[in-house]
Structure 1
Amino acid sequence: MRLKRFLLRYYPPGIILEYEQSEQLKTKAIDLLDLRPEHDPAAVAQDLSMKEPLITKTRIPQVQKLVSKLQEKLVASEDHQFYLFKVLRAHILPLTNVAFNKSGSSFITGSYDRTCKVWDTASGEELLTLEGHRNVVYAIAFNNPYGDKVATGSFDKTCKLWNAQTGQCYFTYRGHIAEIVCLAFNPQSTVIATGSMDATAKLWDVQSGCELATLAGHSGEIISLAFNSRGDQILTGSFDHTVCLWDVHTGTQTTTLIGHRGEIANAQFNFDCSLIATASMDKSCKLWDVRTGQCVGTLRGHEDEVFDIGFNSTGQQIVSASADCTVRIYDAGTQRCVHVLEGHDGEVSKVCFNPRGHRVLSGSADKTARVWDTATGQCLQVLEGHTDEIFSCVFNYEGDTVLTGSKDNTCRIWR
């Protein structure tokens, strides 16, 4: 084994080792999830060298510099204040979703007007309109980290694959017999998964346009899906109150997570894909062990339906959004609620951490989005100006730009 080079991963903190073995180029990730700004970089580098044979003595100074860079990122832009950069009169009907490419240089918007649009983040200019669907474009995604393709899922029961630079439609995937409401690329960008109101999910080949598998087993609509980081497992959340885990290669169901007493609103893997968090209309969230399929904790406290849930980049905290107008932050290890974020006066439908994990963004029916401090639970900013409820909100990879998409037909860029 011969080390070729180091690559940095900022969120979550880590160092990727690129090495050669038997004339093949391979990679290995060293996760530094517990790295803090106060840690001594020299001591961290020394410790890594003792654990990892590829990090020889001569490489320790290089690793020390990389650790310092990661620490700088941890304290950067601590007090970033967002201002309204641009209001995009994006569509002639309400927006459904917004999503960034990996670098944040461009983003997409889906709408009830049957189109998806591609935008330049720096200028706010419209780059492309992706037209062809015959009904609402509800689910949208870039094939991150590459960002050269866009997938759109529609109420017209089809999914389309587009060239993100030219707008060319590569394929129209047909087979669902009801509306497509969620979709995702696998991490390798070779497979698209679509989830539908017909109670099935389907896997499609990006290269050939062929259907690879139909994931049938739920008795209710599938409204959420997510691949694990290796791309060999996918989870589906359904209105039948369950979440299912599937083997991507065989298309077979491997585990069913049973315990909620209401429809599933969202389900997500943590960073290392050892846990799944689920949000439900039964007013609770649950944590599940991926290996055993057992529920390892119930996150209580919300007084109404829970609409959204997500882990921070290290998987150490969980955030949830509810119809009770609050957002809650939980410790994933103890499953204790550490903060109740109060301030919205309408149901909160979307919530997410910034990449660093020290801020939370929430979008609400009260027409505002809010930025919160995860350490104190304080509201740092109210992003006001939309004239109708906010359906979608998201941070870019650097965490210094926010998008909000609203029922008022506009998208706003905040910097």
Structure 2
Amino acid sequence: MEIEAVSLLIARATQVPRRTKQLTKGLITDTTLLAREIAEKEPLITERVFSQLVGSLDRLQARLIADGNVQQYSKFKTLRAHLLPLTNVAFDKQGKKCITGSYDRSCKLWDVNTGSELHSYEGHTNVVYALAFNNPFCDKILTGSFDKTARLWSTENGECYQTFWGHTAEVVSVRFSPQSDLVATASMDSTARLFSIVTGQETSVLQGHTAEVIAIQFNNDGNQIITGSFDHTVGIWDTRTAKRIGILTGHQEEISNCLYNFSCSLVASGSMDTTAKAWDPRTLSCIATFAGHTDEVLDIAFDLRGRRLATGSSDCSAQVWDVYTSFSALATMEGHVGEVSKLCFSPSGMQLLTASSDSTARLWDPETGNCVQILKGHKDDVFSCAFNYRGDTIITASKDNTCRIWR
């Protein structure tokens, strides 16, 4: 319990408002004093684990300083991953392994340091579109396919543990519950489904949407889940009863993505109606509408503190918004000459990474909107990108059938 408390408090410590933001401006936080301040408010932090809290804060501070120095990345490895274009890519929690999905009906597991293929997961009979690790354990992989199934695999020996049946159309999003006892799948058949990892049996069908369900995410406790649909709405569900307990209504076109912030106090949604919205999931009310793009919003991402929201659009730009105080625009990132289909913040939030159909990925300063680096080399659309846990490695995936590791 005490070790878990340390992890929880470190996560909360990253939300200290301006103290950590000053690290790159020459003001270094006294981590021992900060730890004492946290311990005074949190009875779970005892003297037994106090030193662990200080050590973790020291590591966090070092990471923030390193990220604030604006690391320049260069190509480290090229993974010539598949025979046909890739669909998705994901790091494990430590950033030592990654998985790729492809139109060639397979998923592959890679060693990031060596670039070697560790396992090829074959068994799906159509495109492997959705991927997930069961973080933080990372001993299992979940894949979703256009063959209407999802599969559970071992990262250790490549064995297929379970095949999850029930959908009547393509599976386009998959998630592990926080406890890794359930998996959730979203499908073009207008439903989401929950399955037991142990038995492989379907435990719930989440019915209510009137069009394709394309996004899904558990809250931190695993007792609720959100779903984004082409019916213009986001659904909130109780995973214990499979009942829809809320509908977020207000978008005028299809939902492209929906996410909880770090504390699950906010839900964000992006839409083809050119806007993103922030919602209070308790009152089901729209807190803010972010209207700055001139074309479809294709992707959204919270920083890890849940205080800023980034949006990527078909108008070739990305924008960053305050979702903590003013709910206003903070920066606009312009420079891509193709749509921005994927984006993510670095672990410290000091950089924003975007992937574009112009065959490049770009790194930006999310406070100024300045482009700090262009990652060139792919021969076709870059449709996915991610930072590893430490923020010192980037992966990009392209329709040119390759992934690139940047360090």
Aligned partner of 2:137 in structure 1 is 146
Listed one character per residue, the Cα deviations across residues 79-119 of structure 1 (whole Å, up to 9, x for unaligned) are 21111111221111110000011111111000000000010
1:52 to 29, 42, 47: 42
Alpha-carbon shift at residue 45 of structure 1 (Å): 3.2
Aligned partner of 1:181 in structure 2 is 172
2:61 to 46, 66, 71: 71
Alpha-carbon shift at residue 73 of structure 1 (Å): 2.7
Runs of at least 5 residues in structure 1 that lack an aligned partner in the other structure: 17-28
Question: Which whole-Å CA distance do the structure 2 matches of 1:82 and 1:59 have between them?
Answer: 36
The correspondence of residues 374-389 of structure 1 with structure 2, limited to 5 A, is 374-389=366-381
Aligned-partner residue type, residue 288 of structure 2: G
The correspondence of residues 232-271 of structure 1 with structure 2, limited to 5 A, is 232-271=223-262
Runs of at least 4 residues off by over 6 Å: 57-62
Aligned partner of 2:9 in structure 1 is 15
- Number of equivalences: 397
Aligned partner of 1:347 in structure 2 is 339
Aligned partner of 1:84 in structure 2 is 75
Aligned partner of 2:15 in structure 1 is 33
Structure 1 residues 209 and 83, CA gap change in structure 2 (3 angstroms): same
Alpha-carbon shift at residue 67 of structure 1 (Å): 3.6
Partner of 2:34, secondary structure, is: helix
Question: Which whole-Å CA distance do the structure 2 matches of 1:282 and 1:54 have between them?
Answer: 45
Aligned partner of 1:117 in structure 2 is 108
2:398 to 402, 406, 409: 406
Partner of 1:220, secondary structure, is: coil
TM-score (norm 1): 0.91
Question: Which whole-Å CA distance do the structure 2 matches of 1:254 and 1:58 have between them?
Answer: 41
Question: Which whole-Å CA distance do the structure 2 matches of 1:117 and 1:366 have between them?
Answer: 26
Alpha-carbon shift at residue 32 of structure 1 (Å): 4.3
Question: Which whole-Å CA distance do the structure 1 matches of 2:121 and 2:3 have between them?
Answer: 40
- Structure 2 contact 6–53 (Cα < 8 Å) conserved: no
Higher strand share: 1
Higher helix share: 2
Question: Which whole-Å CA distance do the structure 2 matches of 1:57 and 1:171 have between them?
Answer: 44
Listed one character per residue, the Cα deviations across residues 194-219 of structure 1 (whole Å, up to 9, x for unaligned) are 10000000001001100000000000
1:160 to 136, 140, 151: 151
Q: Is 1:397–2:389 an aligned residue pair?
A: yes
Alpha-carbon shift at residue 42 of structure 1 (Å): 4.2
Listed one character per residue, the Cα deviations across residues 338-393 of structure 1 (whole Å, up to 9, x for unaligned) are 10000100011001101111011100010100011123221111111111111111
2:329 to 332, 337, 341: 337
Question: Which whole-Å CA distance do the structure 1 matches of 2:174 and 2:49 have between them?
Answer: 42
* 393-402 or 78-87, larger mean C-alpha shift: 78-87
Partner of 1:15, secondary structure, is: helix
Partner of 1:76, secondary structure, is: helix
Aligned-partner residue type, residue 15 of structure 1: L
Structure 1 residues 45 and 319, CA gap change in structure 2 (3 angstroms): same
CA RMSD of aligned residues (A): 1.9
Q: Percent identity?
A: 50
Runs of at least 5 residues in structure 2 that lack an aligned partner in the other structure: none
TM-score (norm 2): 0.93
